Amino acid sequence: MIILLIKKRMAILCLLFSCSCSAQVITFKSLQAALTAYPLVRGKYTQQKTLKMFKQPLRSSGHFLLSGTQGLQWSQMQPFPVSLVLTKDKLSQQFSNAPPQIISVKNQPLVFYFSHLFLSVFKGDMTALSTQFKMQLKGDNKNWYLSLMPRNAPLNKVFKQINVSGGNYIEQLLLIELSGDTTKITFSNQHSTPSKLTKHEQATFKL
């Protein structure tokens, strides 16, 4: 009886010990906290679109800037330069020399539907995502995998699943369509400093 009790205590101690020295089990709450920990994240990306109707995957790359409060700047450099700016209620697209095309959520709510979803994934806005997806989270805070299964139309008519993975930052985003076509975005070189927007970046957000 006494031995059993001691064994049980040791087991508990072991558990406690193992927890404190390795990475913590990830929860939706801690993931959201981790992804919103930095006010600014800058980095590079490569995107690979694998569609059945293409002979070979469509590749593009560039850099991005995510601001927790302002939105997202997405600058594609290859194969042609184009910059996208997504804020709470506006989306602008600008080719190198041409004037930007700006659309607002008020005028075209449909366009924003998908864009905002993308932004929620990026920002780790679990509350917003939970209304649209069934979510599964695996791993620990150094290495986590989040899979999102769309709950309702129109998303479930298009996507089978969206997989996100990462550690301190998002590292990969994989969109799997019902048809089997995929879009994979890999992020690299992410850093959270400098933590303030430059004047130019600030101006870019003002659409």
Summarize as ranges the residues that interact with another protein (CB under 8 A): 47, 49, 51-56, 58, 60, 74, 76, 80, 82, 84, 86, 91, 93, 95, 105-111, 113-115, 118-119, 127, 131-132, 152-154, 156-158, 177, 179, 181, 183, 185
What count of Cα atoms within 13 Å lies in the side-chain half-sphere of residue 42? 9
Q: Which residues of 31-48 are buried (b: 16+ CB within 10 A; e: fewer)?
A: bbebbeebebbbbebebb
Residue 29 or 199: the one with the smaller Cβ distance to another protein is 29
Find the shortest distance in angstroms from Cβ 194 to another protein: 25
The full length of the chain comes to 207
Tokens of 84: 């996208």
DSSP lists the bridge partners of residue 139 as: 144
132: nearest Cα among 156, 108, 157, 106: 156
Residue 141 or 165: the one with the smaller Cβ distance to another protein is 165
Residue 62 or 139: the one with the smaller Cβ distance to another protein is 62
Find the shortest distance in angstroms from Cβ 127 to another protein: 8
Q: Using an 8 Å Cβ cutoff, are 42 and 190 in contact?
A: yes
Residue 103 or 141: the one with the smaller Cβ distance to another protein is 103
> What is the spatial distance between Cα 69 and Cα 15, in angstroms, rounded to a whole number?
39
Find the shortest distance in angstroms from Cβ 180 to another protein: 8
Find the shortest distance in angstroms from Cβ 43 to another protein: 14
Find the shortest distance in angstroms from Cβ 176 to another protein: 11
Mapped to the 3 state alphabet, what secondary structure does 189-204 carry? EEECCCCCCCHHHHHH
Residue 2 or 110: the one with the smaller Cβ distance to another protein is 110
